[in-house]
Amino acid sequence: MRIAVCLRQGLDGELGPFDAAAYEAALRVEGAEVVLLSMGTPRTGELLLRLTRLGAKRAYLLTDPVFAGADTLATAYALSRALRVISPDLVFCGRQTLVGDTAQTGPMLAELAGLSLLTSVMRIDSLSDGSITCQTREGEAISALPALLTLERVFELRLPRIGSRTGELITLGAAEVGADPAKCGLRGSPTRVAKTFENQSGRRRCRFISRDELDSVLQTALQSARAVGDGEGEGSGERLVHVVTVGGAPRSYAETVAESITELPLSDADTLTREIGELKPDAVLWGSDPRSKRLSSLVAARMGLGLCADCTRLECEGGELAMYRPALSGSVIAKIRSLTRPAMATVRTDEGGAREIVVAAGFGVHDKMDAVSAFAERLGADLAASRKLVDAGIARYETQVGLTGKKVSPPVYIAVGISGAVHHIVGMERAGTVIAINPDKNAPIFDYADYGIVDTF
């Protein structure tokens, strides 16, 4: 059994947490031969070599000037060519990288390499020569091999043992993997970053209130339920003639840019590829639930189309779709264009539950979780958590909000014991009314809250 683990070096020179979990998951498969694969610069080779000390025999580095500037599709293409050289039974990828935060490369790679696909894997239950059974975020899934798995952040990567040896590093260029230069790097990338600017969204003017006022503020917030800026902005007034939405979730975004909208059911990649091919719309919009993310990537790879991830705003500009999305952990907004038609984007829709109020707990209340749960129950709210609380083993992984968790936009978000790190804000900045409870009046969370209570919970 050969497992290829696809990795991307982060901006800090290290592995992102999802890729680290993918590598650890592969190392835990008994008797498997693990090899690493990454596309990057020679510096990435140093990281790969270091990582071979944990157990991978060999590492393949795809490096060539023609690979530079690749978007997710061009990256998946280059990796798919390298997989021909490696011929693995299984490919493990992290669910997403922190640099791109798209969750597209894994599914696109599965499509281009002809592998079956299991996304958001939490646990591997059984593995035989012919098939694999996993627990994913959407439930149990079984697949025939060869297959590609994208892993959730469910494992910490082990440390090297003292005296462990480095493995072999094999460097491959475009010609060596038979890659068509026209499909590689910037030239082969159907999406382009048009510009980037500072992300000011989510910033609010906080009104400080006393604890006694909380109930009345909540009542007002729920009544007005200024139901979230889905597809916020009125757009420029200019419109695309025909926009397709897959499922109903992206409709409010489509309404900001489209003259006419056709809604297709969220079916399967074959059906959707055919339907989109027949309708020939100007743009196709998808939701951000795991199934929409997976199917949009498969369809994009099959049709050779650009796919912009996680858009928070759309505009029509000169007959083209301008897609805006948070990037670099939410610190900037990038404006993306697609060079292919139809333009395709997943838009940020709520990934949380259906309740009106979310009570999110942070590390500041790690020793008060019974009280926080009772508070949430009294309000009929869903419980969520910061990553620090999840990492401390106090809250469930599935409840984590933020860059490496889920993105939620309930009418009311109450943050208790959360400091307001940018990584957390990116997951809740589109909530209707935000209320923060924190004894530190300088905590950044108050810059992103409509109401603040400066007090311990």
Ligand X SMILES: Cc1cc2nc3c(=O)[nH]c(=O)nc-3n(C[C@H](O)[C@H](O)[C@H](O)COP(=O)(O)OP(=O)(O)OC[C@H]3O[C@@H](n4cnc5c(N)ncnc54)[C@H](O)[C@@H]3O)c2cc1C
CB atoms within 10 A of CB 215: 10
CB atoms within 10 A of CB 142: 13
Contacts 24+ apart (CB under 8 A), 42-47: 43/9, 43/13, 44/9, 45/169, 45/171, 47/9, 47/13, 47/14, 47/15
3-state secondary structure of 49: helix
User: Is residue 256 part of the contact set for ligand X (CB under 6 A)?
Assistant: no
3-state secondary structure of 288: coil
- Choice from 388, 399, 433, 451 touching ligand X (CB under 6 A): 388
CB atoms within 10 A of CB 237: 7
Q: What is the 3-state secondary structure (H, E, C) of 291-347?
A: HHHHHHHHHHHHHCCCEEEEECEEEEECCEEEEEEEECCCCEEEEEEECCCCEEEEE
Q: What would the x/- binding string for ligand X be over residues 359 to 378, using CB under 6 A?
A: ---xxxx-------------
Site stretch for ligand X (CB under 6 A), options 81-89, 100-108, 176-184, 394-402 = 394-402
Site stretch for ligand X (CB under 6 A), options 63-71, 125-133, 273-281, 433-441 = 433-441
User: Is residue 457 part of the contact set for ligand X (CB under 6 A)?
Assistant: yes
- Choice from 94, 190, 352, 402 touching ligand X (CB under 6 A): 402
Considering the complex, what minimum distance in angstroms separates the CB of residue 399 from ligand X?
10
Nearer residue to ligand X within complex by CB, 201 or 256: 201
Site stretch for ligand X (CB under 6 A), options 145-153, 163-171, 215-223, 416-424 = 416-424
Considering the complex, what minimum distance in angstroms separates the CB of residue 292 from ligand X?
20
Nearer residue to ligand X within complex by CB, 364 or 411: 364
Round to whole Å and give the CA distance between 214 and 81.
58
User: Is residue 439 part of the contact set for ligand X (CB under 6 A)?
Assistant: yes
Asked if residues 345 and 292 have their Cβ atoms less than 8 Å apart, the reply is no
3-state secondary structure of 259: strand
User: Is residue 323 part of the contact set for ligand X (CB under 6 A)?
Assistant: no
Considering the complex, what minimum distance in angstroms separates the CB of residue 208 from ligand X?
15
Binders of ligand X: how many residues, by CB under 6 A? 30
- Choice from 443, 449, 453, 454 touching ligand X (CB under 6 A): 443
> Rule CB under 6 A: which of 91-150 touch ligand X?
98
User: Is residue 431 part of the contact set for ligand X (CB under 6 A)?
Assistant: no
Helix (H) or strand (E) holding 357: strand 357-361
User: Is residue 440 part of the contact set for ligand X (CB under 6 A)?
Assistant: yes
Site stretch for ligand X (CB under 6 A), options 35-43, 149-157, 286-294, 356-364 = 356-364
Nearest partner of 343 among 297, 308, 293, judged by Cα: 308
Considering the complex, what minimum distance in angstroms separates the CB of residue 289 from ligand X?
17
Asked if residues 344 and 305 have their Cβ atoms less than 8 Å apart, the reply is yes
Round to whole Å and give the CA distance between 274 and 401.
35
Nearest partner of 122 among 146, 144, 156, 155, judged by Cα: 155
Considering the complex, what minimum distance in angstroms separates the CB of residue 419 from ligand X?
3
Number of residues that this document lists for the chain: 457
- Choice from 400, 433, 448, 449 touching ligand X (CB under 6 A): 400
Considering the complex, what minimum distance in angstroms separates the CB of residue 268 from ligand X?
30
Q: Residue numbers of the site for ligand X (CB under 6 A)?
A: 98, 362-365, 386-389, 400-405, 416-419, 421, 423-424, 427, 437-440, 443, 456-457
